[in-house]
Amino acid sequence: MIIIETILLFHDMIRQDEKLLIRELSNAGARYELINTGDHLELPGEPRRGLAFPRTISQRRTQLVAQINEALGNQSINSLVSIIMGNNKAATMAALSRLGLPIPRSIVINAGADVDEVAEKLGFPIIVKPIQGSWGRMVGLANGVQDLAMLARHGSASSGSIVAQEFIDKPGRDIRITVVGGEAVAAIYRYSPGDDWRTNTARGGRAEAAKLSPELEDIGVKSAEAIKASYAGVDVVESRDGYKVLEVNVVPEFKNVMRVTGVNVARRIVDLLMLAARRGA
């Protein structure tokens, strides 16, 4: 006997991406429930049973949703393990490195560490990132030891550690590869807005369709696999030495991917969810 579980879409804001998902869930005739993470959760209580689908903007809430649901016996997509790894830039770099995927030279700096050795190993400029974060927030560019020390001090004050990476001289753009169910389904170029070296479309960057070469497909699929993600947005940059993977997003936005490529990413994700929601009694 096959049981179809209810898909529990957890959100803190209904963005365009979630609207696209809701439309495709309805079109597919899926059983689903929208759950605002601002609502109270009482324990003990009658737990909601189903397939958890965290789509919260807050990374902490995403992780909490997966933790609670897996503790209650629900499956989560993405899983708690993949969310923890994807939300931690140091863990992501380690997982990518383990599979031999190309990444920028990276050094984790803990609070109070001497940055002189980091500067010597990486050379300037150096990209400084918080361990957790998205949309290019709190990402800085250090052009000297004083810059690096200041950025490290500020970053470690909020998260305890930061990631310092070599600066990649990219052609004013990066590549977002969308992976769903072990398949690279689309890719876009994201261009830097004005003189900003960051390419996040959330910061005003321009998007256009990119060709999915076999190499990009392989990098995208293996990057998602590295952090055990069922679906992901893999950020890749072009360098003189070839492609480098910058990040693997476990709650990726995809509206711009759909807009410029015509690929119905929302439907691909819903197909993945509906397959996962089927289980034997």
Three-class DSSP category at 191:
strand
- If you ran DSSP here, which 8-state letter would residue 241 be given? T
Domain ranges of the chain: 2-85+268-280, 106-166, 169-262
Give the pLDDT band (50/70/90) at residue 165. very high
Give residue for tokens 């711009």: 256
DSSP state of 166: E
Class of the CATH-defined domain 106-166: alpha beta
Residue 187 in tokens: 């890719």
**Percentage of the chain lying above the pLDDT 70 cut:** 88
CATH number of 169-262: 3.30.470.20
pLDDT of residue 152 exceeding 60, the answer is yes
Cβ atoms of 176 and 232 closer than 8 Å: no
What are the angstrom distances between the C-alpha of 247 and each of 74, 133, 169, 230, 261?
27, 11, 17, 15, 21
Report whether pLDDT(156) > 90.
no
Q: Of 38-52, 155-169, 173-187, 193-207, where does mean pLDDT reach its minimum?
A: 193-207
Question: Angle at CA 204, nearest 5°, toward 18 and 163?
Answer: 85
* Residue-level pLDDT at 135: 58
Q: What's the pLDDT at 280?
A: 46
Average pLDDT, the chain: 90
Distance CA 64, CA 154 (A): 26
pLDDT tens digit sequence for 81-127? 999 999 999 999 999 999 999 999 999 988 777 889 999 999 999 99
pLDDT greater than 90 at residue 46: no
For 255-281, how does the pLDDT look when each residue is reduced to its tens digit (9 = 90+)?
A: 999 999 999 999 999 999 999 998 643
pTM of the model: 0.91
Q: Which of 20-24, 128-132, 237-241 has the highest mean pLDDT?
A: 20-24
Say which residues have a Cβ less than 8 Å from residue 208's Cβ, sequence separation at least 6. 188, 189, 191, 260
pLDDT value at residue 194: 67
Q: Which residue has the higher pLDDT, 125 or 193?
A: 125
CATH (one of 3.40.50.1820, 3.40.50.20, 3.40.50.1700, 3.90.1150.10) for 2-85+268-280: 3.40.50.20
Supply the pLDDT for residue 47: 72
Enter the tokens of residue 206: 């321009």
pLDDT at 51 over 70: yes
Pairing of strands 106-110, 161-166: antiparallel
pLDDT band at 159 (very low <50, low <70, confident <90, very high): low
